[in-house]
Amino acid sequence: MDLLSTIAILLVFAAVFGVLNERYLGLQSTIGLMLLALLTAVVVGVLKAAGLMEGLGWGDALVQQLDLSEVLLNGVLCFMLFAGSAGVKIEGLKENKWTVVSLAIGATLLACVLIGVFLHFTLGWFGITLALTYAFVFGALISPTDPIAALAILKSVGLPKPLEDIINGESLFNDGVGVVLVAVAMAFATGSSSMGVGESVGLFLREVLGGITLGLAVGVVSHLLLLRTEDFTNQLMITLAMVSLGYSIALHVEVSGPIAMVVAGIFVGNVTAPRIPDKVRSPLRTFWSGIDDLLNSLLFVMLGFVIVLIHNLDWAPLAISVPVAIVVCLVARAISVYLPLAVLCSTPALNADRNRMTALLTWGGLRGGLAFALVLSLPDSPEKPLLVNMTYGVVAFSILLQGSTIGKLFKPAFLNSILK
């Protein structure tokens, strides 16, 4: 199957599933798309296994044609992060800067460690062997909340603006932290690196600080170019060119591309956009909003279909490892956000009910396509099938169950009572 046919099929499924969800399911768009794609893949798989649809190999061909890790990590992620961050107001980030930094870095690092330790010993208790180093790899890739899932789902919940700023800020920045953690953890797991703690910290700081610096550079250059034209087509080409070029540079100089795109988006959205005439700014925002929605739709359809990539395991270990991973992730998330909040709530930096905020951030800490793309990008190893299965289970649980129940569990009165 050629690339054009693959994209065409994805667009058709996204359109059909979108209409079906709107008319019959009424779920939030990304949840409905993933659910329908997942059910379609399962039904087709069952029919093929029963010999009723022999020769129908489009599902496998569709997923294999589009490598999710390559498409997301080295492709559309830059556009989605730029589009999402361009709508984030810098005033909200400034007011909650210590909370965002504590959650994006501190909570992510702590969750990585907790998940690794808890998962290693809990699976071992059930007789499933997973080396501690690979448990830390899983912790690194699953700890960050996914900005794509969070921005797509949480914006429909109606959060108070300060809470929305905190959750958006955390989810936008901690994915860059997670990508770096996966690289470091995988180097230790495979023994391919002799890095010590100092070298690991140095790599982490280089990726993060380098990403921030590159993002500011992309934002400044975009700013200078955008203010020198009032033609919509020129401004559209400038933003597309700078985003794709900036992310490409990040990949080549080995700094965090996701962080660079977030910083560039915030800069352009807050510094440049107000100076652009409304006749150009409005259609430009409409374009990027449309791109964001389109790529989100295609991504979650793909995420539903990639169940065909789930590696075959004995049902007994699979039935144990996935629920264990889900519980471990929820417990680790709760602890990793409660501890920073306990410190922050004792200072003027954050005046909030830490127990209620912990509950919201735990259940609203969604995982999405980024985690699954990261696990698929890992080199082949005996541990990879188990990691892939657990990651997909956590992601599916997060989006389909957590995402669909956030609005039902956290009513406006509860949300408004979190911040004092």
Task: Please indicate, yes or no, whether residues 37 and 122 belong to a single structural domain of this protein.
Answer: no
Give the residue from 65, 85, 100 where a domain finishes: 65
Q: Which two tokens stand for residue 111?
A: 């969750």
**CATH number for position 192:** 1.20.1530.20
**Of the candidates 148, 368, 173, 170, the residue with the CA atom closest to the CA atom of residue 262:** 173
Return the pLDDT at 296: 84
Q: How many CB atoms lie within 10 A of CB 376?
A: 20
Predicted confidence (pLDDT) per residue in 318-336, tens digit: 789 999 999 999 999 999 9
Does position 150 have pLDDT exceeding 80, yes or no?
no
pLDDT in tens, 234-288: 999 999 999 999 999 999 998 889 899 999 999 999 999 999 998 889 999 999 9
Tell me, yes or no, whether 177 and 265 share the same domain. yes
Residue 1 reports pLDDT greater than 70: no
Is pLDDT above 90 for 147?
A: no
Mean pLDDT of the chain: 86
- Residue linked to tokens 């471990």: 328
Residues 138 and 49 in one domain: no
| 309 vs 412 pLDDT, higher one | 412
Residue 4 in this model has a pLDDT that exceeds 70: yes
Distance between CA atoms of residues 302 and 250, nearest Å: 26
User: In the prediction, which pLDDT does 275 show?
Assistant: 94
Residue 102, pLDDT score: 93
Of the pLDDT bands very low, low, confident and very high (cuts 50, 70, 90), residue 177 is confident
Confidence (pLDDT) at 43: 82
Mean of pLDDT values over 335-364: 88
At 197, is the pLDDT very low, low, confident or very high (cuts 50, 70, 90)? low
Measured between alpha carbons, how far is 263 from 197 in angstroms, rounded to an integer?
27
Over residues 47-76, the pLDDT tens digits come to 766 666 555 555 555 555 566 677 777 778
Say whether both 29 and 177 belong to one domain.
no
Same domain, 29 and 156: no
Whether residue 397 contacts residue 163, with contact meaning beta carbons closer than 8 Å, is answered with no
CB 39 within 8 Å of CB 303 = no
The parent domain of residue 11 ranges over 3-65
Of the residues 44, 65, 86, the one at which a domain ends = 65
Q: What is the pTM of this model?
A: 0.89
Higher pLDDT, 191 or 303: 303
For residue 60, the model assigns a pLDDT of 58
pLDDT surpasses 70 at 193:
no
pLDDT of residue 64: 58
* Residue 146: closest CA among 328, 411, 391, 418: 391
